[in-house]
Structure formats: C-alpha cells, structure tokens
C-alpha cells in the first residue's frame, strides 16, 4: 500500500448526476499525488456523533491540480451530510487507502455494476492506450458516467429494467454481443462479482475483483471487513483477508466469495 495521509480537503464542486448519486471533486494536499485506480479514501463526518469514516472509491485523479473525484450514492446520514456540501466546504479525509488494480498490457473487460462503476473510470484512464478496452456497465435503471467512458473504449450497457442496452446483467451483455477479452477488471455488488469470478474461471481468463464491503476503520485494525481467502492471513492467522488493507482489489483466485 502506498503512503496514506490525513488532511482537510476542500470541496471544489459537487452536483447530483443521477437520483441520489453525487459527483464531488476534492482539493487535497498529498492524496491525489499518490492515488491510483482502485484505491479509496475515507471521509469523516463533521458531526461528532458519527465517529466512523465513510469509505468511498476514487473515481478520477487529477495529479496536476492535486484533486480527487468521488462519485457516491446517498445511503445513510453520513453520505447525506456530504451531499449537502457546497464549494469551499472542508472535510477531513484519509487516503489513499487499499491496493489498486494491476495495469497490464492485455485486452481488457472493465466491468462495473452500480456504485462499482466510478472506480473503473480512473482505471480506464490509467490502462495503457494500446490496450483494447471493452467497458461493460450494469445499472438498475438511471445511467450515470456512461458517456465519460466512451473516450476510452467501446461501452456496453445492461439495465435490470431493460430500459437501456441489454435487458439483464453485465454477463448477459457480454454474451449478447459475443465479447471476449484476455483480462477482467471488475467492481460491483457481491452477487455480480461472484458470477464474474465463476465466468473467468470457466473461460480461463485472468480476473481482478474490487470488493465492495462496509468498512469501519479503513486501515485494517478492526477486522470488520474480512473476506475468506485461500491463504492464511499473517495478521489474523486464519483464512481471511482484510478488504480495506490487503484489498479492495484481489486476484479472483485468492478469495472465496
């Protein structure tokens, strides 16, 4: 894991880009300079009654302007508080946290589902230009960020309600269009990742998964976000890995989900 920093970030701008989904740019002192695709930051509430930070994936990194972009869904009081923040607001942030995606020169599937879509945008930007990127995005209904992916590769969309693209899930879209790739990068809800892991194993495709999990401390101390692993963890001495520390990105063959 790269160096992490605790700092007070400043909200550059924020807007609602889909129902309950917010797009925020934060000015940081050091975090953006170190951040890579697949990592996350932890944001602290200004309300003293909410002690635990909210982990949110990094959507884009602007190293030149030392800025981080996050796209998140309001799911509770903490994220609701963040959604009301205006330009110039201050927020305590720790990051970058976790491990990012390995950048390989292989034709790739970038698969995002729901709020697992945002981190795939920075990955699309960081992967070598010569890599052919097939970007498969799964939504319940309303789309967000889909147009921004188009400058990096071909975009295929699946919606649960069938309103746009393939009626179904991301694997339905892959099958419908007869898509192939040499490596899979994916982030999204656990049922989607479970299906992708199975698909990758069946088709003998290298696969990297970013696991979404409710985290507490975000730095590996509390063991609230463990997943089952093939190997014994040095910290716990059992077959667990801490998603916030050893992850959130894992090789699919390392974890049991």
The CATH number of whichever domain residue 132 belongs to comes to 3.40.50.80
Closest CA to 195 of 174, 213, 179: 174
In this structure, the answer to whether residues 146 and 189 fall within a common structural domain is yes
pLDDT at 225: 43
The helix (run of H) or strand (run of E) holding residue 34 is helix 31-34
Q: Which domain holds residue 139?
A: 108-212
In this structure, the answer to whether residues 73 and 166 fall within a common structural domain is no
Residue 238 included in any domain: no
Q: What strands lie across the sheet with 67-73, from one edge to the other?
A: 54-57, 40-44, 90-97, 5-18, 21-27, 67-73, 60-62
Residue 233 included in any domain: no
pLDDT tens digits, 235-245: 555 455 545 44
Work out the mean pLDDT of the chain and round it to a whole number. Answer: 88
Residue 154 included in any domain: yes
In this structure, the answer to whether residues 151 and 89 fall within a common structural domain is no
Domain boundary among 175, 193, 212: 212
In this structure, the answer to whether residues 90 and 114 fall within a common structural domain is no
In this structure, the answer to whether residues 27 and 76 fall within a common structural domain is yes
CB 163 within 8 A of CB 138: no
In this structure, the answer to whether residues 160 and 65 fall within a common structural domain is no
Please confirm whether the linkage preceding 99 is cis (ω < 30° from 0): no
pLDDT tens digits, 137-173: 999 989 999 999 999 999 999 999 999 999 999 999 9
pLDDT band (50, 70, 90) for residue 202: very high
- The rounded distance, in Å, linking the Cα atoms of 189 and 213 is 9
pLDDT tens digits, 213-224: 544 444 444 444
DSSP state of 106: S
Domain boundary among 67, 97, 127: 97
Tokens representing residue 250 in the block: 């894992």
In this structure, the answer to whether residues 131 and 185 fall within a common structural domain is yes
- The rounded distance, in Å, linking the Cα atoms of 238 and 230 is 10
In this structure, the answer to whether residues 197 and 112 fall within a common structural domain is yes
In this structure, the answer to whether residues 53 and 132 fall within a common structural domain is no
- The domain total for the chain is 2
In this structure, the answer to whether residues 119 and 205 fall within a common structural domain is yes
**Taking the chain, what is the end-to-end CA distance rounded to the nearest angstrom?**
23
In this structure, the answer to whether residues 117 and 164 fall within a common structural domain is yes
Predicted structure pTM score: 0.87
Phi and psi at 170, nearest 5°, equal: -65, -35
CB 165 within 8 A of CB 108: no
In this structure, the answer to whether residues 174 and 130 fall within a common structural domain is yes
Q: How far from chain centre, in Å, is Cα 130?
A: 23
pLDDT tens digits, 54-102: 999 999 999 999 999 999 999 999 999 999 999 999 999 999 999 999 9
Residue 173 included in any domain: yes
DSSP state of 254: G
Domain boundary among 40, 64, 97: 97
Examine the pLDDT at 2 and tell me if it is beyond 80: no
The strand pairing partners of 16, in sequence order, are 22
pLDDT band (50, 70, 90) for residue 233: low
Region 11-22: what's the mean pLDDT?
A: 97
CATH number of the domain within which 47 lies: 2.40.30.10
């Amino acid at each position: 894991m790269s160096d992490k920093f605790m700092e007070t970030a400043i909200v550059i701008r924020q807007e609602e880009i889909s129902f309950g989904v917010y797009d925020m740019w934060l000015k940081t002192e050091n975090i953006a300079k170190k951040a890579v695709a697949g990592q996350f930051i932890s944001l602290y509430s200004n309300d003293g009654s909410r002690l635990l930070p909210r982990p949110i994936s990094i959507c884009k990194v602007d190293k030149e302007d030392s800025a981080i972009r996050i796209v998140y869904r309001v799911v509770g009081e903490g994220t609701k508080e963040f959604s009301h923040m205006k330009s110039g607001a201050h927020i305590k942030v720790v990051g970058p946290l976790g491990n990012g995606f390995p950048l390989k020169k292989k034709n790739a599937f970038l698969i995002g589902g729901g709020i697992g879509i945002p981190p795939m945008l920075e990955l699309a930007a960081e992967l070598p230009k010569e890599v052919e990127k097939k970007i498969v995005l799964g939504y319940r209904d309303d789309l967000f960020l889909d147009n921004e992916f188009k400058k990096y590769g071909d975009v295929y969309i699946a919606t649960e309600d069938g309103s746009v693209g393939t009626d179904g899930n991301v694997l339905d879209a892959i099958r419908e269009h007869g898509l192939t790739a040499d490596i899979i990068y994916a982030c999204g809800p656990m049922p989607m990742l479970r299906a992708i892991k199975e698909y990758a194993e069946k088709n003998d495709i290298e696969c990297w998964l970013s696991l979404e999990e409710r985290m507490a401390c975000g730095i590996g101390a509390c063991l609230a976000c463990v997943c089952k692993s093939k190997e014994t963890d040095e910290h716990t001495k059992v077959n667990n890995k801490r998603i916030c520390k050893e992850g959130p990105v894992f090789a699919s063959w390392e974890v049991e989900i």
